[in-house]
Structure 1
Amino acid sequence: MNLFDPFTLKGLELKNRVVMPPMCQYSVTKKDGIPNEWHDVHYTSRAIGGAGLIIIEMTDVEPDGRITDNDLGLWSDEAIPAFQRIIDACHQYGAKVGIQIGHAGRKAQDAEVPVAPSAIPFNSEFKTPRELTTDEVKEMVEKFRMSVRRAVKAGFDVIEIHGAHGYLIHQFHSPLTNKRTDEYGKDLTKFGREVVEAVKSEIPSDMPLLMRISAAEYVDGGYGIDYAIQFSKEYQKAGVDFFHVSTGGEGPIGSGGKPGIHGGYQVPYARKLKRALHVPVIAVGNLDDPILANSVIGNGDADLVAVGRGMLRNPYWTLDAAVQLKQQVQIPVQYERGFPRMKK
């Protein structure tokens, strides 16, 4: 098995196992959540560059759910044509397209009053959020449902629910941030499960559902992989078909700090989740070296590999990886002169 073998799950068929993960562009200029020309070029260029699956950045279910006012949103039907335009363009070059649906919760920096499971600020520099009422939590589930309904209308090939990096679903299932006393505090996965069930009711039966999780919190008292496996099993029972395994998000430590950002530093978490749940996983975390990325697939540690910063630097990362790994791929005819001839 290698990076350029096809991958199939339900009705999703990918030409290779290279994923462009969701990475916020903070480039919405009219603050309406609707993609613009930047997004068109950004995503389509990675499709031309050979990625098998492109996942559009976190797209929020309500205006105050955005990290910033310059983020994407899918709370209105008016956004559907713009997303459809990106999907159609990427499909022309053989890429499949997903979208990450989420809500920033207490990390919504531009919201006048952010909302969260409990009134606990992220840190001293962030606003103190307002605790959602029980009825508001149920309404939030419906906002996720409606955003996914619009995503399906736009033509996405797969939906990813954002349950990682300290955003709203993560805030609900983390003991650090959920101190509620109602039904959503007594059962920390209840909100996430209800979102999964709502999403499943909106997507076609042959469309797999993806969920991104943080497998560990790098803070004192934070959870680790064993707890992540527990809550992931609950989401799997609710309908998640495969997982995108990251870490962090509930403290100051991220991709630029401890516990270290050596190549493949998060792969062990993906491997453990894959083996515990017997489910396909996407590995992520400094996998920009094609040989390393290929080894993750070849060793059976993950089924797909996400290359983030590598694709920010080079839209054609996938084509370059194919050359380095001596794999035959379809080079756009316009670019053939720029690549060495590979024997068929």
Structure 2
Amino acid sequence: MARLDEPVDIGGVTVPNRLYRAPLLECAGNGEGAVETLIDELEPTAASGVGLVFQGASVVTGEGGCAAPNMTRVHDPEFVAGLERLTGAIHDHGGRIFLQLAQGGLRSMAVWHAGYRSQNPQLEQLAVSRPPWQLRVLDRAGLIDLSPRVLDTSEVYELAAQFGRVAGYAADAGYDGIHLSGANMSLLQQFCSPLFNRRDDEFGPDPGEPAAGGRRFLEAIHDAVREHADDVALVTKVPAETAAPAFVRRHLSFDDAVGLASDLVAAGYDAVVPVAVSTFWDMSIVRGAYPDRAWSAADLRGEYAAAFGGPLRARAVSLLNRLQARQFDREPGWNADLCRAVRERVDAPVLCEGGIRERATCDRLLGGADRPPAADLVGMGRPFYAEPRLGARLLAGADALCASCNNCTVPQVAGEPGRCRTPAIVRERARLAARGAYDRPGDATDESGPSGD
């Protein structure tokens, strides 16, 4: 049985323990102070003893492709070079940092964010194929705004090359690895999904292998990354579209995802992150309670209306959110079965995240005398919004405070930074900090992070 505090190797990179901070939205953008924002957000995690920190989805293209406001772009080598201060801060605490690369495709803000569309009417969305009929219906109803530009074969190869170039910038800036955002409705998932991918070139599906086009695109990205950064670890999420609505008949099954993960490891990926997702952007990726406090925040109502195209539409989205909260209630380690099935097939580390909040869940996922392991590393995301230095308590055997209430996530559609907005949890964090629960041996001061409100 592996222990949470044991080191693990990912593609030649030694991670000091098996706990990681999963990719989140840091909302740092690219303006003045972006690097400081990232350091303020991520350094406390490494200082608390977390072995591996993922910088959240960072967009590889110079325009479009952002799924939410204030995402960071990494297409500019000069900007990425400045991130050396961030990687150095993580390394000073003995941690490792991987950069997650992304492109939103049909999940981009130009599709769903009314205010952004009005400010950027010329923007198109990169598309794998003609959008599926479900999205076209929403477009005709005026609920979203599709302006797809279907990539031709040469553009697909060029996009893969861009991922590789950015990986090279990241390696030069001191990042230890690259993590591809291959799920959560990103463009990479759209290449893998039979709902979105109906291409008839080499990046399209094969009979009996619906994810063949996505696999080939991810293989092309692998080759491009290795051309520019041959000494960093390379990890990707692998989607199983098992949360797809009933009216979607073409989607990646559990078995499809297991096969895809196995093929990608055989192609040279150093680790995989299997995740159960939907074919659409819904609460399947942030399972938990309906965020009453976030939706009722008076200071954000105007921002929600601007994002969704008016107060009535914002209320409609809120209602849909309430209905989905019933469907996607939190299940501790909801990706465990998929991760276990993948781990039985691959000879590479498997990372598991999704609803993990308790130390006992971490230990159970890493295996025991009476059960096979589901994963080699375990990760948490939203709990680090509530407790930036959570690692110190988890590694000492405690549980996270996060209640999966999602009050931290909904405000991000308005461009708000991720932070805990649940007073009871904020107060408890303050009490724990006062008792030194976030201190580690050798700490000179208590750096428990901002208290929030």
The answer, yes or no, to whether TM exceeds 0.5 is yes
Residue 196 in 1 paired to residue 222 in 2?
Answer: yes
Cα distance in 1 for residues equivalent to 2:200 and 2:447: 64
Q: Which residue of structure 2 lines up, in the alignment, with residue 209 of structure 1?
A: 234
2:255 to 226, 235, 242: 226
Are the structure 2 counterparts of residues 225 and 77 from structure 1 closer, same or farther at C-alpha, using a change threshold of 3 Å?
A: same
Gaps of at least 5 residues in structure 2 are 111-119, 206-211, 288-324, 400-438, 449-453
Q: Which residue of structure 2 lines up, in the alignment, with residue 136 of structure 1?
A: 155
Q: Which residue of structure 2 lines up, in the alignment, with residue 81 of structure 1?
A: 81
Comparing 287-296 with 45-54, greater Cα deviation is found at 287-296
Gaps of at least 5 residues in structure 1 are 339-344
Cα distance in 1 for residues equivalent to 2:23 and 2:374: 21
Are the structure 2 counterparts of residues 170 and 336 from structure 1 closer, same or farther at C-alpha, using a change threshold of 3 Å?
A: closer
Cα distance in 2 for residues equivalent to 1:322 and 1:77: 36
Cα distance in 1 for residues equivalent to 2:332 and 2:234: 27
Cα distance in 2 for residues equivalent to 1:336 and 1:44: 13
Equivalent position SS for 1:160: strand
Q: Which residue of structure 2 lines up, in the alignment, with residue 297 of structure 1?
A: 366
Cα drift, residue 310 of structure 1: 1.4
Q: Which residue of structure 1 lines up, in the alignment, with residue 10 of structure 2?
A: 9
Higher CA-based Rg: 2
1:247 to 276, 279, 287: 276
Cα drift, residue 158 of structure 1: 1.2
State the percentage of identical aligned residues. 22
Contact 2:239 2:252 in 1 (8 A): no
Equivalent position SS for 1:209: strand
Comparing 180-189 with 80-89, greater Cα deviation is found at 180-189
Are the structure 2 counterparts of residues 238 and 3 from structure 1 closer, same or farther at C-alpha, using a change threshold of 3 Å?
A: same
Spell out, residue by residue over 1:40-97, the C-alpha distance to the aligned partner (whole angstroms, 9 max, x if none). 1001111111110001011111022222452111111121233211100111111111
Q: Which residue of structure 1 lines up, in the alignment, with residue 331 of structure 2?
A: 262
Q: Where do 1:264-283 residues align within 5 Å?
A: 264-283=333-352
Q: Which residue of structure 1 lines up, in the alignment, with residue 199 of structure 2?
A: 180
Are the structure 2 counterparts of residues 196 and 10 from structure 1 closer, same or farther at C-alpha, using a change threshold of 3 Å?
A: closer
Equivalent position SS for 1:8: strand
Cα distance in 1 for residues equivalent to 2:34 and 2:98: 15
1:312 to 385, 394, 408: 385
Residue 165 in 1 paired to residue 184 in 2?
Answer: yes
Cα drift, residue 100 of structure 1: 0.6
Spell out, residue by residue over 1:1-28, the C-alpha distance to the aligned partner (whole angstroms, 9 max, x if none). 2111111234211211110011112331
Cα distance in 2 for residues equivalent to 1:313 and 1:216: 29
Q: Where do 1:82-97 residues align within 5 Å?
A: 82-97=82-97
Contact 2:30 2:72 in 1 (8 A): no
Cα distance in 2 for residues equivalent to 1:337 and 1:109: 35
Are the structure 2 counterparts of residues 143 and 29 from structure 1 closer, same or farther at C-alpha, using a change threshold of 3 Å?
A: closer
Are the structure 2 counterparts of residues 230 and 10 from structure 1 closer, same or farther at C-alpha, using a change threshold of 3 Å?
A: closer
Q: Which residue of structure 2 lines up, in the alignment, with residue 147 of structure 1?
A: 166
TM-score (norm 1): 0.89
Q: Which residue of structure 2 lines up, in the alignment, with residue 43 of structure 1?
A: 42
